[in-house]
Amino acid sequence: MQFIKPGININFIGRRKIAFIVSLAMILITIASLIFHGGPRLGVDFAGGTVIQVKFDSPVAIADVKPALKSIEIGTSSVQEFGAAKENEYLIRADSSTALTEDMQQNIEQALQKATGQKAQIRRVDMVGPQVGQDLREKALLAMFFALLFITIYISGRFELKWMLSGVVAGALMLAVYVLTIFEVSIPYLMIAAVFVTLILFWFLELKYAMGAIVALIHDVTITVGIFSIFDKEFTLPIIAALLTIIGYSLNDTIIVFDRIRENLRKHHKQPLDVILNTSINETLGRTILTSLTTLVVLITLFVLGGGIIHDFAFAMIIGVLVGTYSSIFVASPILLAWQNRGK
């Protein structure tokens, strides 16, 4: 059974300007949302503090939970529902990084039971110091940046045979970033500057395949972050793992399309580049859609049935797969055409 009939010829490249406008709009919405929210909402992993997961016997109102916390010395607190509504679980977040003793946990349970009239049970306590949170935040940003650099070496070597040039560029950028981190330059601003410098270098050094892949990956991560910001969801270590997984998934899709483009450039080198790009995308369309659909089935199952712990991870992956599939078709490949037309 064939999902996509052979010989299909959808004009993806002809609609690239519309796709660019859509992508630009999503990125601008991301930036606006981040500015409005004062940056991404960092979880306890990165911001530091204490998270207490509490389970009640029956549903309680958040307004009844908050007064009970004022009598307990755990700092400024916020409360939100956690997991499915029928589970009656809540997350209490405190700014202070306080190690809860057994006596303190009992006091919290008693205070919550008195305020709500329902028996409370502490299921989990996570505590991260502010310095540890800052270190984790910086290492997460560095991990994503270095992952992108290693990807550029692979793409440039495989599709353009420029192993040495891409390796030297990546090595120089990593060394510059490492030196600047020693001088305690702000990591977020350093990463943004390093990404811009990377794209400029790729443009002038004619690493067009690597540039197409990196632009697509930055596009995917940015939009995923933007959707998390719009829904005011927290960024935790599992979400960073999801973003790195999205980078790998999107890259796999892009490589499949690039591989077919390289083959068709050899077979049909007399045809215009836009025709070759469009043919290559259509020839790999069936594989792209089937891979995305089977992955989404698993992720939606995790999202619905996986519980509160894995809920945000599955949500990030669903967004990443959808955006990654879109970018492999409408972002990565058209970059090659834009490269050819840059002189014009």
DSSP codes joined into one string, 3-56: SS-TT----TGGGHHHHHHHHHHHHHHHHHHHHHTTS-EE-HHHH-EEEEEEEE
Sign of dihedral through CA atoms 327, 332, 333, 334?
A: positive
CA neighbours closer than 13 Å in the CB half-sphere of residue 204? 6
- Contact status, residue 317 vs residue 299, Cβ threshold 8 Å: yes
Helical residues (DSSP H) of the chain, grouped into ranges: 16-36, 44-47, 62-70, 102-116, 130-160, 163-182, 187-204, 208-230, 237-267, 273-283, 285-305, 308-327, 333-340
3-class secondary structure, 92? strand
- Contact status, residue 112 vs residue 89, Cβ threshold 8 Å: no
Q: How many angstroms separate the CA atoms of 114 and 65, rounded?
A: 10
pLDDT of residue 1: 47
DSSP codes joined into one string, 169-184: HHHHHHHHHHHHHHTT
pLDDT of residue 98: 63
Query: What topology does CATH give the domain 13-43+132-343?
Result: Multidrug efflux transporter AcrB transmembrane fold (1.20.1640)
Q: How many angstroms separate the CA atoms of 150 and 75, rounded?
A: 43
Could you tell me the two tokens for 240? 């960073």
Q: How many angstroms separate the CA atoms of 265 and 39, rounded?
A: 43
pLDDT of residue 317: 94
3-class secondary structure, 77? strand
Tens of pLDDT along the chain (344 residues) come to: 456 676 677 888 888 889 999 999 999 999 999 999 888 888 777 777 777 888 888 888 777 777 777 666 665 567 777 777 677 888 877 776 666 667 777 777 877 777 777 788 888 877 776 666 677 777 887 888 888 888 888 888 888 888 888 888 888 888 888 787 777 777 777 778 888 888 888 888 888 888 888 899 999 999 999 999 999 888 888 888 899 899 988 888 888 899 998 898 888 878 888 888 898 998 888 888 888 999 999 999 999 887 777 888 999 999 999 999 999 889 988 888 877 666 55
What b/e string do you get for 117-134 counting C-beta neighbours within 10 Å, with b at 16 or more? ebebebeebebbeeeebe
pTM more than 0.85: no
Q: How many angstroms separate the CA atoms of 48 and 53, rounded?
A: 16
pLDDT of residue 122: 81
Sign of dihedral through CA atoms 229, 230, 234, 237?
A: negative
Domain locations in the chain as residue ranges? 13-43+132-343, 49-128
pLDDT of residue 96: 67
Dihedral (C-alpha) 252, 253, 255, 261: value to the nearest 10 degrees? 170
Query: What topology does CATH give the domain 49-128?
Result: Alpha-Beta Plaits (3.30.70)
